[in-house]
Chain A
Amino acid sequence: NAGVTQTPKFRILKIGQSMTLQCTQDMNHNYMYWYRQDPGMGLKLIYYSVGAGITDKGEVPNGYNVSRSTTEDFPLRLELAAPSQTSVYFCASSYRDPANYGYTFGSGTRLTVV
């Protein structure tokens, strides 16, 4: 049981480039999330999904896009990378209402935009 798998672990992008951060979970969780973590700021929610075909914006969605075509996968797309997107990105999932179940986190993707 792999849990939540994120790829890549590290990436350096040039300003204006695009990339997709991959997230896959094998626990049949309905809820999936993308957070970014900046030093001293905690975690900020970017996008979330409560099931295949359903996505919604979180607190800091600008500059990002997501899709949820299957229960297992929840990729995060950066279209035009900017230095402000330098951060550590975490994908998380939850079986149902996370108020009861909490999250299972991936190990993160460290992204640097130069």
Chain B
Amino acid sequence: AQSVTQLDSHVSVSEGTPVLLRCNYSSSYSPSLFWYVQHPNKGLQLLLKYTSAATLVKGINGFEAEFKKSETSFHLTKPSAHMSDAAEYFCVVSIYGGSQGNLIFGKGTKLSVKP
């Protein structure tokens, strides 16, 4: 069965410092992986996706994630946090060609950015 685990429910960083949000996945197949961001009282927006091409994926707003099959991880990083990055982030896994065709969401990591 497919699953995704976000290792931290809450991460707090200072503005200008690096961001690391951790995600591990479990899948019997070659997974597709996504990161979504949700700002307060808003819908979810796609940050980036991995679909078996390059293992280092670049997304919007300076975020990137690296797919590491040996570690079953897909951590999200950003070199320098901005106040506007404060939001909740969801790691998501799917099976390519899965019969249900739906995505499985992690429980989310809330990112706080201190001035």
Residues of chain A having any CB pair with chain B under 8 Å: 31, 33, 35, 40-43, 45, 48, 50, 56, 58, 90, 92, 94, 97-100, 102-103, 105-108
Tell me the minimal C-beta distance from A62 to chain B in angstroms. Answer: 18
Interface centre among B95, B97, B102, B108 (most CB of A within 10 A): B102
Report chain B residues within 8 Å CB of A56: 100
Q: How far is the CA of A107 from the CA of B43 in the complex (A)?
A: 4
Q: Which residue of B lies closest to A92 (CB)?
A: B44
Q: Contact size class for B?
A: 20 to 34
Tell me the minimal C-beta distance from B24 to chain A in angstroms.
14
Cα distance, A102 to B90, chains bound together (Å):
13
A97 and B97 within 8 A (CB): yes
> Nearest chain B CB to A78's CB is how many angstroms away?
20
Are B90 and A33 neighbours in the complex by a CB distance under 8 Å?
no
Binding site for A on B (CB under 8 A): 9, 32, 34, 36, 42-46, 49, 51, 90, 94-98, 100-103, 105-108
Q: A42-B106, A106-B43, A107-B43 are in contact. Are A98 and B90 (CB under 8 A)?
A: no
